[in-house]
Amino acid sequence: MSKTRWLVLSLSCSVAMTPAIASAQAKAQAADTTKKQTENLVRDLIRGLALPNWNLFVNGGATTSERYLLQQAIDPLAGQRSLQTATGWNVGGGVGVDVFLHLGLRASYNYSSANMNFRTNNGDGSSALNIDDVARLKANTVTLETMRYMLTSRAPISPYGSLGIQWTWWNLDSKSPLISSNGAGTPLSISPLFSFGLQAKATDHWSGRGEIVMSGGHNPFTGKRSFQSTAGQTIDEPDAVNQTAFRLAAVYHFGRPPKVTLPAQPTMAQHH
């Protein structure tokens, strides 16, 4: 084969391989960029946990929930009644950390307590089957949450939302023979929760929060290990009961906020 043919063949191979080489280089650069981004994310996460971005908080407020049971009265002619809680109270506290300007983590413990009442459910406004204060339902709850600030965690006012998981241990103090713990002890419920609220900073170290927390969990009046009501035949026994907590919190932030350096003012130059 002549030298001219070898030259043409070599040139053709080079042209054919150029896109492949360029593609390989692009993939290598993309992989290298992704690796750097991952390393930066891990580094920033570790830095966020190591720096004094931690906070402590205490909170308190009110709790409401859906009905736990719907029962037929012992006298069928009397109608139906539901077992539900009155508006109760809650108190708790926890620890949090602002990992990034817009992202935080928090763990908390809350205790809630509410009276249980029977309410007539005939739809005619009757109160014939009402019985107040038949028991007191208590809950010990541990939560883990991820918080997302709409502005930043250091902003004077910042709306936020959270998503997490909670573990709830129920306790029942019976005050009527119609309600019994039935040897259930402390039923456990594991459920998701989400919240939204507003954080307002009063000083560099103190801020306040107002939030609404919504959760759903296993009904402690259903299942094998459950509390029991003997007020009549059960018609509706929901597997899960939704709760809503309204809370006000005081938050103490450790460390100092980052200093903001203003750009130097340009000087007036004299033109000749």
The pLDDT score that the predictor gives to residue 256 is 60
Among the listed residues 212, 109, 214, 255, the one whose alpha carbon sits nearest the alpha carbon of residue 169: 109
Does residue 31 carry a pLDDT above 50?
no
Q: In this model, does residue 26 exceed pLDDT 70?
A: no
46 found inside a domain: no
**Residue 137 counted as domain residue:** yes
What's the number of domains the chain is made of?
A: 1
For the chain, percent of residues with pLDDT exceeding 90: 62
Q: What is the mean pLDDT of residues 155-184?
A: 95
Look at residue 195 and tell me if it is in a domain.
yes
Instruction: Work out the average pLDDT over 31-48.
Output: 52
Q: How far apart are CA 110 and CA 162, in angstroms?
A: 16
Q: Is residue 41 part of a domain?
A: no
Whether 165 shows a pLDDT value over 90: the answer reads yes
* CA gap 102, 104 in Å, rounded: 7
Q: Examine residue 43 and state whether it is found in any structural domain, yes or no.
A: no
Using H for helix, E for strand and C for coil, what is the string for the chain?
CCHHHHHHHHHHHHHHHHHHHHHHHHHHHHHHHHHHHHHHHHHHHHHHHHCCCEEEEEEEEEEEECCCEEEEECCHHHCEEEEEECCEEEEEEEEEEECCCCEEEEEEEEEEEEEEEEEECCCCCCCCCCEEEEEEEEEEEEEEEEEEECCCCCCCEEEEEEEEEEEEEEEEEECCCCEECCCCCCCEEEEEEEEEEEEEECCCCEEEEEEEEEEEEECCCCCCCCCEECCEEEEECCCEEEEEEEEEEEEEECCCCCCCCCCCCCCCCCCC
Provide the pairing of β-strand 179-180 with 188-201: unpaired
What mean pLDDT comes out for the span 205-228?
94
- In a domain, residue 28? The reply is no
Q: What pLDDT is attached to residue 264?
A: 60
Highest mean pLDDT among 20-29, 103-112, 179-188, 258-267: 103-112
Q: Is residue 260 part of a domain?
A: no
Average pLDDT over residues 129-150: 96
CATH number at residue 233: 2.40.160.20
- Looking at residues 229-252, what average pLDDT do you find? 95
Q: Which residues pair with 71 in a beta bridge?
A: 81, 234
- Domain containing 229: what range? 53-253
Tell me the average pLDDT across 169-174: 96
pLDDT at 5 > cutoff 50: no
Residue 18 placed within a domain: no
Query: Could you report the per-residue pLDDT of 48-104, keeping only the tens digit for each?
Result: 455 668 999 999 999 999 999 999 998 888 899 999 999 999 999 999 999 888 999
70, two tokens: 């719907």
